[in-house]
Structures are given as C-alpha cells and as structure tokens.
Amino acid sequence: MNNEIGTRYDPQNIETKWYKYWLENDYFTPRNDGPKYSIVIPPPNITGKIHMGHALNITLQDILVRFKRMQGYKTLWIPGEDHAGIATQTAVEKFLETKGKKREELGREKFLEIVWDWANTYRNTIKKQIMAIGASVDWSRERFTLDDGLSKAVRKVFVSLYKKGLIYKGKYIVNWCPRCKTVLSDEEVEYHEHDGKLYFIKYPFVDGNGEIIIATTRPETMLGDTAVAVHPSDERYKHLIGKEVILPLVGRKIKIIGDVHADPKFGTGALKVTPAHDPNDYQIGRRHNLEFINIFTEDMIVNENGGKYQGLDRYEARKAVVEDLEKEGYLMKIEDIKHSVGHCYRCDTVIEPMLMDQWFVSMKPLAKRAIKAVEEGEVKFYPTRWKKVYLNWMYEIRDWCISRQLWWGHRIPIWYCQDCGHINVSETEIEKCEKCGSKHLKQDEDVLDTWFSSALWPFSTLGWPEKTEDLKIFYPTDVLVTGFDIIFFWVARMIMMGYEFMDEKPFKDVYIHQLVRDKYGRKMSKSLGNGIDPIEIIDKYGADPMRFTLALMAAQGRDINLDINYIDNNKKFANKIWNATRFVILNLDDYKEVPLDNLKLADRWILSRTQKTIKNVTKAIENYEFNIAAKAIYNFFWDELCDWYIESVKPRLKTEERHLVQNVLVKVLDTSLKLLHPFMPFITEELWQKLPVASESITISKWPEYEETLIDNNAENHFNLLIAIIRGIRNVKAEINIPQSKKVNITINNEISDEDKLYIKFLANVDNISISDSKPEKSANAYIDSDIEVYVELGDLIDINSEIERLTKKIEKLERDAEKFRKKLSNKKFLEGAPEEIVNETKEKLKNIEEKINKIKLLVDSLK
C-alpha cells in the first residue's frame, strides 16, 4: 500500500493518469464470466465538439456500465460516431467557401477526400473529449457509420427491404432545403412562429358573373394553382362546385372543387390548390386527379412554368406577384397573421414543399411489431410518459423519405441500365446489367438519410450481417440512454429495424434523459451565448465534480437548470472526500486486520447506515433514479461518515481501540469509494488505491453487497438521538453568539450512559453534564421530546434580557423576509411565468426561514 497522499485534491494530476492505466490494462473490454450487460453509445455527430447534453448522456451511461461491471456482469459499451450527412456536408461547404471554393468545382471524388480528412480529425477530437469525461467504453470496438462493416450492413438492409417491396421510388411532395440542396424527412423540419401576411385575392368566374375570393400566405405559388377548393358542406360555396375560374396573372382556367380539407373557418373558406408545392394540396390533387405544376427550380428560382416571373427567387416573385395583383385589381386586402413555418433543422433555411422523385421506406408494415413491443412492455420507456409519445407517433407513422441529394453518405445501391432501363439493386458493386448484360450502368447519385445507417446501430456495431460472437452474446442490448428529441429520428427506427432483421428487440429499456438548460431555464444556444463547454468545466473543476453534479440533478422528467456554482459546490464535495480519506490514511500507520467485535455505539451506527446506503444506491441506479442514488451517497459520506463518525472516533484513535476503529474506517471508506466510483471514477481510483484492502483497480472491484447482519436499528435510533442533542446544543451556542469552542455545562432530566456522555462532551464541547428533573435557572432548551430534556446552562455567559430582546428583533426581521417570499408565492404571474427551478428555490427559502423562526421562538420561550 502506497499511503502517500497529497494535501489537496488536484484533478488534473490524476485524471489522465488513471484513464491511461485503465486502457493499458483493458479494463473496459468484456472480462467477467457473469451475465452480459451491453450498451451502444448514441453516436455523436462529427460536426464539432461535444456539448453539455452529450456530457450528461455519457455520464449516465458510464454510471450504469461501471455499476454493472462491478456487479460482475460481462459488460460491453460500444463507442462510435455518426457521419451526419447533411450537417457534415454543410459544415465542410461553409469551410470551403472561406477558401473561395465550391464542391461542384472540386468534383465528387475530391470533395469526399476533404470530408474524410474532416471526419477523421473530428472523430479524434470527439474521442479525446469522451475520454476526458471518463467514459469506460471499449475503444477496441469503436465504430463509425461509414466504416466498411456498417456500410455492408446498410446495403444488405436496403436490398432486403427493396426486394420485399418496402423500399420504393415515387414522385411525392417532399421537404426541400434550398441551402443544403437536399430533401429532409418530416422529423428534420422544425417549425417556428413567423409574422406573416394573409393575402385576399379575387379569382373571377370564367362566365364573367362575379368571383370567388381566396386567402393565402404564399401568393407566389398561385402560379402553380390547378384548382380552388371549398368544403362540400359550406353553404356559401357548395353551389359553385364545378364552376370554372380564371387564374389571375396566368389566365389558366381552373375548376372549383369540393374537398373536406378546405377549412370554412380559415380566411374566406376558399382554398387555392397548388398540388406541387403543398403537402395537403398534393393529397387534394391526388384525390381529384389534378394537374401537378412545379414552378421552382431546386434553388427556389421560378422556372419556365412561372411565365413572366421566371428567373426570380421565391421572395422576389412574391413581391412582384403582389404588386401585379394590386395593379390589376385582383388584390382585395392584406392582413397581418402569425403562422408556423417549416425550417431546415440544420441550416435554419425555410423549406419548400416540392414534388420530386425520391426513395421511400413503407413504414406501416415495419411499425406493427414495434408498436406491440412497447404496448406489451417488451421495450420499456423511463420515464413512462414517453411511452405515449412514442406510440402516438407510431400509430400515425408515414412513409420515410430516405434519399438525400448529398455526396457525403451511403450511396444508394441502385444502378440504372442505360440501355434497357432496368433497375439493378445489389449489396456489392456491379459491372453489368443483370437483365441485358450491358455495362452501361449509372449508379443513383443520391445517398441515404443518415438515420438509415444509425437505425441499424444496435446490431451493425456488433458485426451484423456476419454472425459474430459479439452479436451472439451482446444482442439485444440492455438499455438505450438518449434525449427525447430523437425518439422518432432514431429510437423508433432502431426498434423497427431490430425486429425486422434480428427478430428481436434492440434493447430492453429506453431511458430518456433531461435537457441541460442554463441556470435560468433557457435552452443553451450560440445566439444566447449561454452554452457551457464540458471540456472547459473539466479543465477548471475536474471531470468528477461535473459528472456528480449532472447525476445529482438528473431527476426523471425534469430538465436540468445548470448553474456553474453547483459544479463548484461538488468540487468542494470532492475536496471533502479527499480530506476525509487523507485523514484515515494518515491514521493507519500500524494498521492490522482485526475482527469487528466489541463495537461501540458509533461503530454499530455507521456500519448499519452503510448497509442501508448500499441498498438505497443500488436500488436507485437499477431504477435509473440517478439523482436519488447520488443524493444518498452524498448525504451518507458528508453528513454521516465525515461529520459524525470520523469526528466521534478521533479520541479513540489514540487509545487501545485504535485497531478496531481503523478497521471500521477502512471497511466503511472502502464501501463508500466503491459506491461513489460510477459517479466519480477518477478520485475514487486515486484514493482507493491507498487503502490497505485495495487490489488491482476499483474499476474491476466488487460492488458492495448488502449485509443484513450489520443492520442495527436500535443503534441507529440511539445515535440519531445523540446527534439531535448535540445539534441542539450547537444551535443554542450559535443563536446566542457563544463560540463553539467555548465549553458549556448542560442539564439532562434522565440518566444516560458514560459512552453517551463522552460523545456529547467531545462533539458539543460540553464540560459538565448534570442530571436533574427540573430546568435550571438561566438556561436554554437544547432538545426536548417525550423521554428526554436537555438544557444549556447559561449562567453569566450572557445577559438574558438583552439576549431575548436581540432574538425578538431577529424574529421580526426574519418575519419580514418570510412575508416577501409569501407574497411572491401568492403571485399568480410569478408561479406561471417563472422557471420551475426558481419557484422551488423560493419555496425552499421560505421553508428554511420559517424553520429558523420557530427554532428562535422556542429558544426565546426557554430563556423567558
């Protein structure tokens, strides 16, 4: 045992050292013969640094993996990164723009070389950041969504689904991002409220007898109108169904049709129908066999179908169309309106619904089993409310557009024969047409949606489609830890693909973790400048305080409002762990193992409390109640072990009892560091190595087992009573300004043991303990219950009357403070508008003040 220990906790000196040690000894590879436990990491995108949400996600997974490893499970935690098609290509294009270059100028091959360099650089950066957090992932099994094995899996899945008729190509309305030049799935479109305009436009009847007025937010799209729709039961218009109108500015004759999608309450109740540029109009167009007229190029420039407006971008066209409508007398009025507008989730550009040929996956057949699995509890969500969110989306699931007009990603494994037109689909590169033998083949230019490859992550990372040993042992995985924002992007699709290709669920549990917000409850963003960089936090405070803070705040169903001060507080907790362990180590000079016999009250108390803490922490981690587990070990270590047990045994370390006390301290400290290890891996390894019971590494040590024989409720109740008495004496001293270091005399109305007296005298700094049935003159109540009364004898230590006057004024001030908080909490605007964290903090402050008022009132009463 190397019991040399520094005087202060210095995370920078221990974290790199121990992570290197763990890697060198392969502690993160599966090594036990017990039951298996596996997790796949949600792969970070290779578009930049990890953020605090990643830090939370990684911390919670690492707690589970380290916990299970110590419990003897054969654990595997697979790391990896996602190629992030749109995001990465966009980032690289922006980088090239700063160099005055465009990807089209470079060509596909050269551009992809540059992106691969980018990917390798950022993958390495992300890996270092994950290591800095302390993640015990098996780096020997690191995967990337574009590596050879995963690419093979992607092609196999595509071909399989295609041959089953579940992948098809069709011309449908899709979400088009003109900035990224690609299609987006419905889930990749983010909707924001906009201040817009509602334009009321006259469409004159062909027979010249009047007009119908429509209302639209996008007048430029009228260039592609092929009908006007009204609700079939709308009394104002149903007699007009079948009548023709002239499309203003264009002159095209179009019909008035009856369709239930027309909302009588919106605008005028009459709807212009542009089937090629609106998803709802597209459905109307299909139902009524309307013409589909596309009026935009992929750059959102009006094309040849836009007549005189050809060459204008969509916003220029809007302005020109509105001016011409007004000039020619078609524009009735314009109203201000707030409406929801779709944006690209990556570049924030307003998307355009476009009619395009794209590849789709038919989702309803795949969804059936994935719905049943969650309904019947085969796959469970934590917190449970996410089950309903998942199911609601799955019941209404629409086909998934999987083609993307990008160069970076998995190229669609389709080859078109230029001679016979046959579509060839293959898992491997092909040189000739399977139908006519022609070598004139052209591969589809598009790539697959990034989420297509990540949907296979739980089994592709384990080696599928090969029948690997890892796949046999570790699939299905045990839990997925992820954020709520990708339940539809990723979680649902993994469940569907797991059942389709493995005939089994991909994971048993889905833990949806919290969103990390700033201290005011605002979402962290670049625009607000309120982001917190986890690596900067680690450099300043250490990984352990950051990890412990995130775990402590990870209450199920509640977002985390993160204040840097909380991390600073847990740096103090790390210092407490360090100093307490240092005290024990420095008092183990002549340590030898002895049986835990002839235990004193404090020994029995701490050993019993240790067992209950083992039980509480174990149960909480198993239930994904990370905050409850962290709070349990925090309270035990700081309050019970440090503040009470260690303080109580200091005198005994100088007596013949020292070996017994040393053994109790080592046992409890060994257990405490192990319970803390999943949360704070670095400091616990550093300190545990210095204990006389340490072996190879705390990482592979045995998780503490609950020992029923050490539970002693009588000892707990008795010692807790002594704690209450000692606190009462200390409180009296504090309230009437007697230094804690000054000895006082006390009176107790019942006989107590000599051992009890020793604890009270040492821990409360008491000189003499008198036994008497009556309360002494000039004394203050320290503790009173039905069995025992304890008084602090004040004598000439204070002027009683002056002290009563001072305390009365203090009560009055506290009452004024309390009243401010009561008013705040009775204010409906505050309760509804303030972040939940602030409201709870205000309630806690009021509670603390009221408790303080009651204590001082009791003290004043006793002085009187």
User: Residues marked as binding for ATP?
Assistant: 526
The DSSP element (H or E) to which 700 belongs, if any, is none
- Tokens 């597209």, located at residue: 282
Q: How far apart are CA 36 and CA 30, in angstroms?
A: 9
Helix, strand or coil, per DSSP, at residue 589: coil
CB-based burial label for 147 (10 Å; 0-12, 13-18, 19+): middle
Shortest CA distance to 655 belongs to which of 587, 603, 709, 720? 587
Give the tokens for residue 581. 């362990």
Q: Are 232 and 259 in contact (CB under 8 A)?
A: yes
CB-based burial label for 575 (10 Å; 0-12, 13-18, 19+): middle
Phi and psi at residue 769, to the nearest 5°: -115, 115
Q: How far apart are CA 225 and CA 253, in angstroms?
A: 10
Q: Which amino acid is at 730?
A: R
Shortest CA distance to 609 belongs to which of 583, 647, 644, 585? 644
Q: Are 50 and 135 in contact (CB under 8 A)?
A: no
Q: Are 594 and 666 in contact (CB under 8 A)?
A: no
- Integer-rounded Cα radius of gyration of the chain: 35
Shortest CA distance to 37 belongs to which of 138, 160, 146? 138
Q: How far apart are CA 612 and CA 191, in angstroms?
A: 49
Instruction: Give the CA distances from residue 103 to residues 89, 95, 113, 663, 674, in Å, rounded to whole numbers and listed in that order.
Output: 10, 11, 11, 69, 53
Taking each helix axis from N to C end, the angle separating 543-552 and 52-70, rounded to the nearest 10 degrees, works out to 90
CB-based burial label for 172 (10 Å; 0-12, 13-18, 19+): middle
Query: What is the C-alpha end-to-end distance of the chain, expressed in Å?
Result: 59
What's the residue count for the chain? 864
> Cα angle vertex 743, ends 741, 745, to 5°?
150
Instruction: Give the CA distances from residue 861 to residues 506, 726, 788, in Å, rounded to whole numbers and listed in that order.
Output: 66, 20, 18
**Virtual CA dihedral for 391, 395, 398, 400, nearest 10 degrees?**
40
Instruction: Give the CA distances from residue 471 to residues 30, 40, 234, 691, in Å, rounded to whole numbers and listed in that order.
Output: 13, 12, 60, 39
Q: How far apart are CA 708 and CA 686, in angstroms?
A: 30
Give the tokens for residue 221. 């799209």
Q: Which amino acid is at 47?
A: T
The DSSP element (H or E) to which 358 belongs, if any, is strand 352-361
Detail the DSSP E strand segments found in 368-502.
380-382, 400-401, 403-404, 414-417, 423-425, 441-443, 447-448, 477-483
The DSSP element (H or E) to which 550 belongs, if any, is helix 543-552
Residue ranges for the known binding site are 526
Q: How far apart are CA 634 and CA 643, in angstroms?
A: 12
Annotate 660-689 with b (16+ C-beta within 10 A) or e (fewer): bbbbbbbbbbbbbbbbbbbbbbbbbbbbbb
Q: How far apart are CA 126 and CA 151, in angstroms?
A: 21
Q: Which amino acid is at 348?
A: D
Q: How far apart are CA 307 and CA 323, in angstroms?
A: 16
